[in-house]
Amino acid sequence: MTTLSLQEALQLPNFSTMDPAGLAATLDIQLANNQQAIDLLLNSQTSLNYNQLVPKLEQLDDEIGKLWGPLSHLHGVRNKEEVRAAFDECLPKLTAYATQMGQNKALYLAFLWILESDAFSQLNQAQQQFLRLQVQDFKLAGVALDPEQQAEYGQLKQQMAQLSTQFSNQLMDATEAWSKHIENSECLLGLPESALQQAQEAAKAKALNGYLLKLDFSCYHSVMTFAQSRELRQEMYQAFNTRASDQGPDGGKFDNSQVMEKLVELRHKMANLVGFEHYADYSVATKMADSGQAVEAFLIDLAKGCKPQAETDMEQLQLFAGQDGGPTPLAAWDVAYYSEKLRHSRYDLSQEELKPYFALPQVRKGLFNVVNRIYGIEVTPCKGVSTWHKDVGFFQVAYEGQAIGYFYFDLYAREHKRGGAWMDECRNRQFKTDGELQLPVAYLVCNFAPPVGDKPALLTHGEVTTLFHEFGHGLHHMMTNIDVAGVAGINGVAWDAVELPSQLLENWCWQEESLRLFATHYQTGAALPEELLQKMLAAKNFQAGMFVMRQLEFALFDLRLHMNYNPDAPQSVQAVLDEVREQVAVVKAPQWNRFQHGFAHIFAGGYASGYYSYLWAEVLAADVFSRFESEGIFNPATGADLWRKITGQGGSFDAMTLFTAFMGRKPSVEALMRHKGLTHES
Ligand SMILES: [Zn+2]
């Protein structure tokens, strides 16, 4: 008898022999095959029960995942010619397939029938929740509408897509239209070497001498933060914050004003069509928050708590700037510049100083140790699994000696690899057709600078936090106890709650007790000096009040714009923003500021009435962590409870139910404010 290798037993993709073109061809056949199989299944009898429908669909999805998954993964981590060609060929086909499935009325009716049948109550929670989410998705996509309304819905969708594209095109054109040529480097005093080099390259690309400033974020950010010339900062601030509007150097040329007004109007119509009072409730329907109203209450609550500290932050900045010979009052284009000076004078902490204490091998060991102490899980490396690069590792996650999941660990930046850090699914936890349980497998990807010679890779503390963050997503996927693929792991989790496990794990990078487990000098083995540690912890909350208020300004504007829309007497986009600013802005924007004309998150991205999610998830994570703070950050009972009630449950319950089960109450902003040093002793 021969034993199967891990590679074979888990039926993992064989990256070393993978043929992208072959995969693309097989995917083509598989998509057609799936469509046929689903039609056949739906036509086979009038009313299918859960076991006749869902496992078959899961299996068909898994077949596609096994082909598309590795290809789309390689597109991110080994993006060479043949991979890109195959990816580009497959993507439109896959999108078309997904659209067709999302609009499949017969499939919707099949789900609806089970949902409304007597047998529904016999199903387990995960199965029930999966069906509810499916039916809801179909309804929100307009599938339940009568033909006439459905046509209108389709038209609205199309118009909205065009407007969003127009918005981002005009924003891009406006961004590229402006530049400033500077021959004398004296005007650029204060800018770091890297920014100067970038500006020099930009000039060279246009066959110019000297420097060329442009409105890409990195150039804008450098000038606002470091340029000593106030005149230059003001000029660039104005150019950047009037892009694609009626104001500024290109005023009226790429104006997004009408596009925004129209988008809000159409979103309102579409929300009405599928049964919601306004777009905010439509957006929130798939999220953890109960309603637009509830989100507004949350944001106001947070604003009330944070405003005093934000005002203090601003006063201190003004005071500091005054002592430095700066202007009174500070204008919007002075804030980042003097903030950077203040930060430097207060903490004088360089990431370079910290890096020797965060050598990757140590940090990784520390991370595994931390999750072992929280959850009792064991992470061990495995051999004999095919990967896409020699630096990629493969690991097993086990509990009480039993494997529960696996992951690929790809940590270094290299050529042909997309930047950033992410977690992706390789395999879902679900039952295979032979009745055997398929364990979850994750891809965990970061982009740290690789080791040079004998020296290990040294991370900044920010990178350590990134590693923990992504691992938190990975654990959510791998530690799931749910066998229904559509609601296992991160699937079916509302996206204002999906960052909870990841942001939660970041907390262990900010605790003395856990840092002491791994922050040791890679050469001497010495512990991170107390003074450095305290500086690092203190710098964490620098201007936290101002930062949160700025996020609140964006979130409230986004929410009210959609929630308070009145088709009979629409308030202008500008008026909505002005009101919000009146209420929450600590840094006063000049009256010609047109930030909203470049707010692509909500006008060209997926964040409309959802921008609040950033703060919402932060609040959840801080709140959940507060239980660890009071019960011990390595308390195994608290860890076990968290696994049972949140980490293991995936999307099988709505996120608020899970949160409440673990905390015994609804979320509170108190912990976040305390962590950010925003709580005022009264
Ligand atoms: Zn994340």
If asked whether residues 119 and 27 sit together in one domain, one would say yes
If asked whether residues 78 and 197 sit together in one domain, one would say no
In a domain, 310, yes or no: no
Report the domain count for the chain: 3
If asked whether residues 523 and 414 sit together in one domain, one would say yes
If asked whether residues 504 and 385 sit together in one domain, one would say yes
pLDDT of residue 603: 96
Mean residue pLDDT of the chain comes to: 94
In a domain, 335, yes or no: no
If asked whether residues 441 and 507 sit together in one domain, one would say yes
pLDDT of residue 194: 85
Query: pLDDT over 90 for what percent of the chain?
Result: 89
In a domain, 646, yes or no: no
Give me ligand 1 centre to Cα 272, in Å.
Answer: 32
> In this model, does residue 19 exceed pLDDT 60?
yes
- CA 662 – CA 645 distance, rounded (Å): 6
If asked whether residues 108 and 187 sit together in one domain, one would say no
Give me ligand 1 centre to Cα 473, in Å.
Answer: 7
Give me ligand 1 centre to Cα 104, in Å.
Answer: 31
Cα distances (Å, whole numbers) of residue 624 to 148, 617, 656: 47, 11, 12
pLDDT of residue 680: 58
Q: What is the mean pLDDT of residues 336-361?
A: 91
If asked whether residues 84 and 201 sit together in one domain, one would say no
Give me ligand 1 centre to Cα 470, in Å.
Answer: 6
If asked whether residues 56 and 185 sit together in one domain, one would say no
Tokens 């068909």 belong to which residue?
60
Angle between the 125-140 and 105-116 helix axes, to the nearest 10 degrees? Answer: 140
**Nearest Cα to Cα of residue 54 among 139, 143, 140, 132:** 132
If asked whether residues 382 and 517 sit together in one domain, one would say yes
Q: What is the DSSP string of 116-130?
A: HSGGGGGS-HHHHHH
Model confidence at 376, pLDDT cuts 50, 70, 90, reads: very high
**Nearest Cα to Cα of residue 53 among 152, 130, 1, 118:** 130
CATH of the domain at 368: 1.10.1370.40
Query: How do residues 97-147 score in pLDDT, each as one tens digit?
Result: 988 899 899 999 999 999 999 999 999 999 999 999 999 999 999 999 999
Give me ligand 1 centre to Cα 465, in Å.
Answer: 11
Give me ligand 1 centre to Cα 464, in Å.
Answer: 14
Query: How do residues 611-664 score in pLDDT, each as one tens digit?
Result: 999 999 999 999 999 999 999 999 999 999 999 999 999 999 999 999 999 999
Q: What is the mean pLDDT of residues 26-45?
A: 94
Give me ligand 1 centre to Cα 469, in Å.
Answer: 6
In a domain, 430, yes or no: yes
Instruction: Please identify, among 473, 504, 532, the residue that sits at the C-terminal boundary of a domain.
Output: 532
In a domain, 262, yes or no: no
Q: What is the residue range of 31's domain?
A: 12-123
Query: How do residues 492-536 score in pLDDT, each as one tens digit?
Result: 999 899 999 999 999 999 999 999 999 999 999 999 999 999 989
In a domain, 1, yes or no: no
Query: How do residues 213-255 score in pLDDT, each as one tens digit?
Result: 999 988 999 999 999 999 999 999 999 999 999 999 999 999 9
Instruction: Please identify, among 490, 510, 532, the residue that sits at the C-terminal boundary of a domain.
Output: 532
Give me ligand 1 centre to Cα 503, in Å.
Answer: 7
Query: How do residues 165-187 score in pLDDT, each as one tens digit?
Result: 999 999 999 999 999 999 989 99
Query: Do 527 and 520 contact (CB within 8 A), yes or no?
Result: yes
Instruction: Please identify, among 58, 92, 123, the residue that sits at the C-terminal boundary of a domain.
Output: 123
If asked whether residues 186 and 112 sit together in one domain, one would say no
Q: What is the mean pLDDT of residues 668-680?
A: 88
In a domain, 167, yes or no: no
If asked whether residues 523 and 379 sit together in one domain, one would say yes
Q: Where are the beta strands (DSSP E) in 400-479?
A: 402-412, 422-427, 430-431, 437-438, 441-448
Amino acid symbol at 357: Y
In a domain, 224, yes or no: yes
Q: Can you read off the two tokens belonging to residue 481?
A: 């106890």
If asked whether residues 92 and 216 sit together in one domain, one would say no
Q: Which residues are catalytic?
A: 470
Give me ligand 1 centre to Cα 311, in Å.
Answer: 30
Model confidence at 4, pLDDT cuts 50, 70, 90, reads: confident
